[in-house]
Each structure stands twice: as structure tokens, then as C-alpha cells.
Amino acid sequence: MIAPEFLTTSDGMRLAYYVDDYTDPWRPAPTLLLLHAAMGHAKRWFAAVPSLSRHFRVVRIDLRGHGESQVPPPDSPLNMDRLVNDVREVLDRLGTGPVHIAGNSAGGYIAQNLAMQSPERVRSLVLFGSTPGLQNSQAHTWLPRVAKEGLRGFLAATIADRFPPGHDPGNVAWFLDEAGKNDAAWIGRFVGLMASLWWMDKLPAIQCPTLLVIPGAETVGHAEDYDRMRALIPDAEAIVYDGLPHNICDIVPDRCAADIIAWIARRLPHEVRS
């Protein structure tokens, strides 16, 4: 894997990001930004990057406090505007102009808010298992368990919410090991923020084409929330991955990448290499 580059944000945090670009060098390449889930990092996209980076200049960010990015001090402010500004500052550093964004779970929360706040910066959205926040979810029950069982222990005990039976045990173990490296106090703050937020009524402000990719056996979100999202976002479509729990980007990364490429090629055909 390529080494990260780093940006010092406007509030002094060291943020890691990666650029994967294997597009034809004689053609202008659109940018696709990948935003990972809570407790994850940019490397969780590893299996999707090879095919995506032939069509797009792929930018992956380690959200603050995750992966190679700095863990903010306990007394630092944390809110959605700060997380959105982190994304803006990376895109400004790279001079991208408007981008396509694929967001997984909490990464999709940040993508939604960027699209609502700065519609001129977002060409399209693909949201994987990503409702408008976690307030209408079971997330508020996670934090006491994490405090008691530890982050890895909690995730191992609830692995059926994330991976289907019989999934590659090596992948599951890697997921647990990598998630367990996170700073538990920071994850508590991060997930606590997401569990306090709900912006369903603001979704009409998303003006770009949006694809909702819904885990058919979802337990983190609710099917009716995805139905409402599809009704409220002016230009939204939805597909369901039948029988799969929350972590669809980890379970079927090739399918996720193929659906990103096919959907953007259909909606914005000039943006994708034929």
C-alpha cells in the first residue's frame, strides 16, 4: 500500500490522506473521495481501490483520530462542522474541484453534510449503510459496553451485526485487530457525537445524484429510514444488498466498487473511462 501524505488542519491536527491514481495519464481524471466508517481507517478500502483507481483519482482520508491521523486531545472541540472542514481542507490542498464521494457508514454522514453545506463541491454521492446520523439507532447502547468489554471485545461480541456467518475469518480477525488499535476514549467521543445527530429533515438540501446502498440485513440503521432518505433527497436511487449486515464495504468490496463505477457511468457518463 502507498504511504500516507499529511496535512495540518486549521485547528492544528495532523491528518493523513492517500492518493491512488492509475487513470490514463493523457486524460483528465475526476476525483473520487472515499470516507471510511467509525473505528476504521482509509486502508479498509484496500480491495476496492485497484478497480476504482483506473477510473478515478482516488483520495482516501483517515478521519481525525483514526488510522494514521492524530488523535485530538480530550478537551478539543468535536462537531460535524469540524469533520466536514477536515474534508474541505484536504480537497483544497489537492485542488480537486467538485468530487464524487463514496461514504461508508459514518463516512457517509460527513459526506451528506458536505453535500448539504457546500453543494458546489460534490458531483455525486454513494452512501453505503449510511443513514442521517445515529440518533435513531442502537448506538447509544454501544458506549457502556465498549467501556466494559473494550473496543475489540465489544466488536467481537457483536460481529454478527457486521459480518455474515462463514465470512473469511482472516478478514474478520483483521477488522477486529485494526479496530482495536483505536483510542477508545476518542471513539467514545466520535460515536457519541454521531449518536446525538439526526438531520433527516435537511436531506432535501442534497442536490447531487445520490445512490443509497442498503444492507438488506441491517441492524445498525432501519429500513424505514432509508425509505425516507430516498423520498427526501431530490435525485436519489437505492439498491439493496440482500441478506448482508452492516459492513457491506468489507464483505463485498468488489461489488461495492463495481456499483460505484456503473452508477457514475450511467448518471455522468463523461466522468468515467470507457
The string of pLDDT tens digits covering residues 181-223 is: 999 999 999 999 999 999 999 999 999 999 999 999 998 888 8
In CATH, the number for domain 5-132+200-271 is 3.40.50.1820
Mean pLDDT over the full length of the chain: 95
Q: What are phi and psi of 32, to 5 degrees?
A: -115, 120
**Residue-wise DSSP of 19-53:** EE--S-TTS---EEEEEPPTT--GGGGTTTHHHHT
Query: What is the pLDDT at residue 137?
Result: 80
Query: What is the pLDDT at residue 260?
Result: 98
- Over the stretch 41-69, which tens digit does the pLDDT of each residue have? 999 999 999 999 999 999 999 999 999 99
Identify the CA nearest to 123 among candidates 107, 145, 100, 144. 100
Percent of the chain with pLDDT over 70: 99
Domains of the chain by residue range? 5-132+200-271
- What's the whole-number mean pLDDT along residues 28-48? 97
pTM: 0.97
Q: At residue 180, does pLDDT exceed 90?
A: yes
- What's the whole-number mean pLDDT along residues 28-34? 96
Query: What is the pLDDT at residue 274?
Result: 66
The CA-based angle 22-251-144, given to 5 degrees, is 120
Query: What is the pLDDT at residue 207?
Result: 97
Question: Which uninterrupted H or E stretch holds 123?
Answer: strand 122-128
- Compute the distance between CA of residue 33 and CA of residue 75 in angstroms, rounded to an integer: 29
Q: At residue 272, does pLDDT exceed 90?
A: no
- What's the whole-number mean pLDDT along residues 123-145? 89
- Over the stretch 218-262, which tens digit does the pLDDT of each residue have? 988 888 999 999 999 999 999 999 999 999 999 999 999 999 999
- Over the stretch 78-102, which tens digit does the pLDDT of each residue have? 999 999 999 999 999 999 999 999 9
Is there a contact between 177 and 262 (Cβ–Cβ < 8 Å)? no
Q: At residue 147, does pLDDT exceed 80?
A: yes
Look-up of cell digits 456499483 = 259
Confidence class for position 139, pLDDT limits 50, 70, 90:
confident
